Structure 1
């Protein structure tokens, strides 16, 4: 069985523990979603963590995805317990850095990114259900802070300042979620619809394709000849870019609403390199 060890890191309060709770629930490891506020999550179980509503030490959990075992390490975000974050990252093959869709890049984001140097990294923009969340402002913030390696792979479609649906750029498919967090595939936004959105979908696809083209000479030639990449070529390009540090994928989710969690599981399965 293939095993992938993924650390969740980032600034305190960006939703690492809630994201892990959602992943465990999505993976069928728990029968219900726990709550940080209620002190009922799998990873924040000590009296001190329940009192603080925050992780104090690194906790572990695992899920299985089509013959793949993913070990998750929920690391502390508070600076007082930075040693736990560093230990968790050192034990991981890949680091998933959570960034609040409301507050964007913070000091803890940069600390986690630096601590994960030399390992494949990806960002997850969280809390998209918050009325003040703005994924595209955060994406711009990530690009200006961490450079051209930042590459969106799952993006939200925003209508009237709320998330209407999510686009998986790997599959080139769009999904809308019901109140129970179940996804239903819907048509991709048309050019006319895209022009009314806060961020044009065709521009995102262009940037995504350019990032993949940079990972391989054959893909580079195919891109500039105007051909579209296959899904396998997209996966292979992102996978290679994560390994050599030229691509840092950006996904997004609302863990509280279970939106985008299934897509994140797909990214972990397809994109994140396994242990050597």
Structure 2
């Protein structure tokens, strides 16, 4: 089994309104990354993350599931959460263990109550976040409307860095706002370079100006270059975005289709590029013997500490727990006791 350094790990929770497409997005991620060779469907009760019989029967997620994916030499631990408010405890468990969040919004239904609740949870746990707009293959989906609604609610921090290319109300490609380049979809999950259509250019100019302005605000040097009309390189833009995403000053907005696995590869790359690894976030607890603050901060040289964020009962293997190691090195044959447990 491959061993990943801490800086190669991304713990990401998927949040959003019920039915916005979180479980379908996980299926597309698994397919694009090569973990599976076909995509399951919620309607056919054969998705990876909704493995429980009750979930398959009802057609929606009831409990949080953990799905590991390897992408660009990083390990992304995806926490797929329920969208319905009846299971908010499951969502809180996942958010407490995550280091960043992807808020999934339906391009057809738009911003819903679950979207706002997801944003509030990210604020509560101080999570960096990005937004992914699904169902862009549907006729009446509107990426522009979703972006406008998000901007109205959350201000200039909303930063779309992809723009859809639609022909005859169908998603046929996208424009990478950072690279200022067009891509056209070919097969499922595949794309090729293309010219930017003329009808996309006016909106592209608005999106690019907004993104460049946000990048310029990261330093005085960038601000001076921006006012002098200088262009930023792709790497400079991405580096600045990573800083601002981790600080919560920018919320990137991407889009795609789960059914066609379009835009999913871009989302996985953005997760690796912009989201923090665990060691970039602080982690502290209380030493019950001394009542002093113990800062684990995911340092392997410190004493073993771990956070049990979820416990499940399986009819075949019994009770088991999901554990996030906060410091030290936890090996497979280690036996830990919680001396303070009742």
Normalised by the length of structure 2, the TM-score is 0.77
Whole-angstrom CA distance in 2 between matches of 1:25 and 1:168: 22
The aligned residue for residue 227 of structure 1 is 230
Q: Distance in 2 between matches of 1:198 and 1:58?
A: 41
Q: How far did 1:215 drift? A: 2.0
Greater Rg by CA: 2
Most deviating of 14-23 and 205-214 = 205-214
1:114-125 to structure 2, matched below 5 A, reads 114-117=120-123, 118-125=126-133
Equivalent of 2:73, from 67, 74, 89? 67
User: Is the counterpart of residue 81 in structure 1 residue 84 in structure 2?
Assistant: no
Q: Do the aligned partners of 1:21 and 1:41 also contact (CA within 8 Å) in 2?
A: yes
- Pair 46,198 (structure 1): closer, same or farther in 2 beyond 3 Å: farther
Runs of 4+ in 1 over 3 A off after TM superposition: none
Query: In structure 1, what is the equivalent of residue 141 of structure 2?
Result: 133
Correspondence for 1:109 among 81, 105, 115: 115
Separation in structure 2 between the aligned mates of residue 178 and residue 171 of structure 1, nearest angstrom: 20
Tell me, in whole angstroms, the C-alpha distance in 1 between the residues paired with 2:26 and 2:219: 33
User: Which of 29, 44, 52 is the aligned partner of 1:46?
Assistant: 52
Out of 218, 241, 246, the residue aligned to residue 243 of structure 1 is 246
Residues of 1 paired with 2:64 and 2:219: CA distance? 37
CA-based RMSD: 1.4
Q: How does 1:1-276 map to 2 (within 5 A)?
A: 1=5, 2-117=8-123, 118-189=126-197, 193=198, 196-197=199-200, 200-276=203-279
| d(CA) in 2 for partners of 1:160, 1:208 | 28
TM-score by length of 1: 0.94
How many residues are treated as equivalent by the alignment? 271
Answer yes or no: is the 8 Å Cα contact 1:159–1:197 preserved in 2: no
Q: Verify the 8 A CA contact 2:246 2:274 in the aligned structure 1.
A: no
Shift of 1:198: 9.1
Confirm or deny: 8 A CA contact 2:43 2:59 kept in the other structure: yes
Task: Compute the displacement of 1:39 (Å).
Answer: 0.6
Q: Which 5+ residue runs of structure 1 have no aligned equivalent?
A: none
Deviations 1:192-213 (A, max 9, x none): x0xx349621111111111111
Distance (whole Å) between structure 2 residues aligned to residue 81 and residue 198 of structure 1: 43
Greater RCO (CA < 8 Å, at least 6 residues apart): 1
Q: Equivalents in 1 of 2:273, 2:193: separation in Å?
A: 19
User: 2:177, 2:204 within 8 Å by CA — same for their partners in 1?
Assistant: no
Cα contact 1:143–1:150 (8 A) shared by 2:
yes
Report the alpha carbon displacement of residue 104 of structure 1 after superposing the two structures with TM. 0.8
Is residue 82–residue 88 contact of structure 2 (8 Å, CA) maintained in 1? yes
CA contact (8 A) 2:131 2:254 kept: yes
